[in-house]
Structure 1
């Protein structure tokens, strides 16, 4: 009985210290890891958070259309720039009076030429040589009537001033085969002058002409050969005027 009593007392003492032993074992003895469980489902999304004060700036938007505004007042005039180098002297212009004179002369010349052309077109036949026109209506007359006819047309009896003009004039010959030319020696025998009483600068006399046959030949004709001959002014031949 004494032994049993001894073991019983020891058991009671041991029971008093069991809680302390278990606590000590939990804090000092490592436990084995268990088998991982199945992952749970995702929870519901949380509420939107507040905008941060120092957040990143957003992307730059597109450029807007230009506005329509009233034009502002002009600014103040800027300071004057530096004076550049002096240019070369230009050509001298015509004095005002000279320009006016030149213009007047040109208008007068064109008017005269137009008048001449209008007169030329009034004849049956005309030929141009240089700046001159030889014109004819087929008239046959003496020298006096030839002068009147040409004068009434604002012209003169034809007078060649060079070989070319003489050839063109002769090409207008008809029957009779000679025509008056504007040269006479009525004032002084042997000295033939034009209708302005100026000495001739070109002649085409035939051999032994002029000869003033019977002292009656004071007028001049051009024959079909191109040669000139003095004849009586009363002779009736072709009349050709010049403009």
Structure 2
């Protein structure tokens, strides 16, 4: 997760690096070109052909000063993640970071708040991720919505991108809504239940 976040920061930092008024922010020159077959390397005089251009160079923004800034940002980000994890504000599982604002809202509002923050509703893809989400559910002692909904076909559930779920943790006799309970909630024992989407449940996001 840290490497992905670092890439995002690097892209933003590169975008924000200003050009000096007199500079054109040109890239570093590429390597000299190689001559074509049976031709000599080009010269500055006009009596010979130049070789083909070399590969493009790196942007001028990737200089030593910028690299130092990015290293500093990466270090600060790592410390921030450590503090948040220590205070139980976030939970890391695999490549995901889970977080909750402690609010209980309906499904649409929960999904919207997660997406506005750059993530989506927590969606367990395996037992390890289900246990990580359960840890937050137990912390607040509240049921939570998952990023799973019933498709147009009753009894078939998909992730938010429409792909059928490939891991489930249904409680006994669930799901039983038969098209009337479109959303999925997690109980405080880690089991799943299909439920109406207008009820207030804990918001847990994944990033």
Q: Deviations over 1:210-238 (max 9, x none)?
A: 0007x531100111101000010001010
Are 2:151 and 1:195 aligned?
Answer: no
TM-score scaled to structure 2, two decimals? 0.57
Aligned equivalent of 2:130: 166
CA drift at 1:186: 4.3
CA drift at 1:176: 5.4
Residue ranges of structure 2 left out of the alignment (5+ in a row): 1-54, 59-69
Decide which of 150, 167, 170 is 1:205's aligned counterpart. 170
* Aligned-partner SS, 1:171: helix
Stretches (4+) displaced over 4 A: 117-121
The size of the alignment, in residue pairs, is 136
Q: Distance in 2 between matches of 1:210 and 1:175?
A: 24
* Aligned-partner SS, 2:159: coil
Does the Cα contact within 8 Å between 2:98 and 2:204 map onto a contact in 1?
yes
Q: Report the RMSD for the aligned CA atoms in angstroms.
A: 3.3
Q: Distance in 2 between matches of 1:222 and 1:206?
A: 10
Are 2:204 and 1:234 aligned?
Answer: no
Does the Cα contact within 8 Å between 2:141 and 2:188 map onto a contact in 1?
no
Residue ranges of structure 1 left out of the alignment (5+ in a row): 1-95, 101-109
Does the Cα contact within 8 Å between 1:124 and 1:137 map onto a contact in 2?
no
1:210-229 paired onto structure 2 within 5 Å: 210-212=175-177, 215-229=179-193
Aligned equivalent of 1:178: 143
Does the Cα contact within 8 Å between 1:124 and 1:136 map onto a contact in 2?
no
Q: Deviations over 1:42-78 (max 9, x none)?
A: xxxxxxxxxxxxxxxxxxxxxxxxxxxxxxxxxxxxx
Q: Deviations over 1:86-130 (max 9, x none)?
A: xxxxxxxxxx79xx9xxxxxxxxx9xxx7xx69976x97210011
Q: Distance in 1 between matches of 2:94 and 2:88?
A: 20
Bigger CA radius of gyration: 1
TM-score scaled to structure 1, two decimals? 0.49
Greater strand content? 2
